[in-house]
Structure formats: C-alpha cells, structure tokens
A and B are shown apart, each in its own frame.
Chain A
C-alpha cells in the first residue's frame, strides 16, 4: 500500500534554512503536498508540486521533487520562530479513489 515517511524532529536556529524531507511509495501520485499544522490548529495547505515538476519556489519556500528516488523536500529560507510547527508531506492516490496519504509529520522547532 501507499506509505509516506518523514523524520520526526528538526531543530534549527532563527535565520538559518530548514530542510524537511519526505519519501513516498506511490509512483502514480499526481500531486504532492506540504501542510503546516500550528499548535492546537488544523492542517493548512502550504504548497504543492505537480509530479512532472522538479522544483517549485514560493517566496521563502522551495519544494524539490526527485521522482526517481520518490523523495520530496521542503526548504524554508530564513526560518523564523513563527515557522515552528508540524509539517506534513502528503500524496494523492490517483488510482481512482483520490485518497490523500499523509506522512507522520516533522516537528520543526526554531530556536531564537
């Protein structure tokens, strides 16, 4: 079945870049997503990438996709304390059911 894996924790200093990594198994995924969850809140779509792209940049966020290795990463430039949250990687199952499979989430802690 589909599986999405992420490391559980990441700690960075304010102003540094953060890189959150994710591996997935479903090679038929059309879109891959990054969600952000702040404490006590629901998940918020941060950015996404279409599977025929290698890279997508959106202000401080850069998404890199290595389709051969089924590896997705999210880079946050100039990380701020407000970026402290849990980041989820997700893939959509396009086999017909359009389920969304989420990773375990990476808890990013930004140190002042």
Chain B
C-alpha cells in the first residue's frame, strides 16, 4: 500500500528553535510538494520539486524556510528560527509529472510557543 509518510506527526517547540520536517514520497514519484494549512490562509503551496530540483518556492518565506531533496526518497522542510506564526499543519504530497493529482501525507502539526 503505497503512501506518503511524514515525520514527526506532531511537533511542539519554542520560538527561535530550528524545526525539521521530513517526508518520504511514494516510490517512483518524481514531484514533491510542500503545503501549509492554517485556518486563516487555507492551503498554501510553499515549495515544489520535480526530479529533486526545486521548481517553485515562491510561496516560502526565504529568510527562515528552506526545502531540499537530498535524495529521491527524502524531502525536508526546515524552519530556522521558528516563530509562533509558523504554527500550522504542513503537508507533503507526491505525484508524477503529467499524472493525476498528488497523494498527500498525513501532515505534521507544528506548534511554536
């Protein structure tokens, strides 16, 4: 049963701390998306990778956020330093270029105190 996995599922941290969220896309998928969901903004696209190369990260605050794909089985989203306004659920999704819609992971719920 292929699925996108994300770790951790929940993270509580203090303002100023570094946060790293991890995602394992479905094997064989060549696109990876990071979305952030908040009550106020809904679902926002933060970053998008194709074949491990970043294609679009215009939705991401560049001063504190960074996204990488060190290999085809791992995508990371890092926040340094974290702020209370970063509290949200962060979703990773993977798919195939030209394929149907991406498959979403269960999300990482981040709370920054």
Q: Mark A residues whose CB is within 8 Å of B.
A: 31, 33, 35, 41-45, 48, 88, 90, 92, 97-105
Contact = CB atoms under 8 A, between A and B. Distances in A.
| Interface SS of B by simple majority | strand
Contact of A42 (B55, B56, B91, B97): B91
Contacts of B33: 99-100
Given A42-B91, A42-B107, A105 B43 contact: yes
Contacts of B101: 31, 33, 35, 45, 48, 90, 92, 100
**Closest 5 interchain pairs by CB?**
A42-B104, A104-B42, A102-B43, A43-B104, A33-B101
6 contacts: A33-B101, A41-B106, A45-B100, A100-B102, A102-B43, A103-B42
B106 A99 contact: no
Contacts of A100: 33, 45, 93, 101-102
Interface residues on chain B, size class: 20 to 34
Contact of B91 (A43, A48, A97, A105): A43
Interface string B32-58: 010100000011010010100001100
B106 A88 contact: no
B31 interface: yes
B74 to A, nearest CB: 18
Contact of B100 (A31, A42, A44): A31
Interface of B: 4, 31, 33, 35, 42-43, 45, 48, 50, 55-56, 91, 93, 97-98, 100-107
Contacts of B100: 31, 45, 48
A99 B104 contact: no
Contact of B103 (A45, A97, A103): A45
B48 A99 contact: yes
A88 B93 CA distance: 15
B97 to A, nearest CB: 6
B48 A44 contact: no
